[in-house]
Amino acid sequence: MASHTTRAAVRAKRERQMTMDRLTLFGLFAVTAMLVCYALEDRSRWFILAFAAACALGSAYGFLQGAWPFGLVEAVWAVVALRRWSVRQRHIA
């Protein structure tokens, strides 16, 4: 019976690590998308919108991993980027 419990504990630990790995990959994707979109903002207003979406993903990542200050700041950045996109949209139209 102890062997079964040990295997179950090892399996559970492996599953938790896999979840963390997925969460880390999600965070890496979000931050990389933010960087790329920020670098390309001058090329098109759509990169500003994509930056806002990437910031929203970064915010979700922050909250999911338990770093709520990071999640909150990224949410603010998403709102700021949406406003910048909106202003740029009006200047073009």
The pLDDT assigned to 21 comes to 85
For residue 64, the model assigns a pLDDT of 95
Residue 65 lies in a domain: yes
pLDDT digits over 47-88, tens only? 999 999 999 999 999 999 999 999 999 999 999 999 999 998
CA distances from 72 to 31, 67, 75, 83 (A): 15, 9, 5, 17
Residue 39: per-residue pLDDT: 97
In a domain, 77, yes or no: yes
Domain, as residue range, for 87:
26-92
Domain assignment present for residue 52? The answer is yes
When divided into structural domains, the chain yields a total of 1
For the segment 21-42, the average pLDDT, to the nearest whole number, is: 95
Residue bearing the bigger pLDDT, 91 or 58:
58
Q: How far apart are CA 22 and CA 50, in angstroms?
A: 22
pLDDT at 72: 98
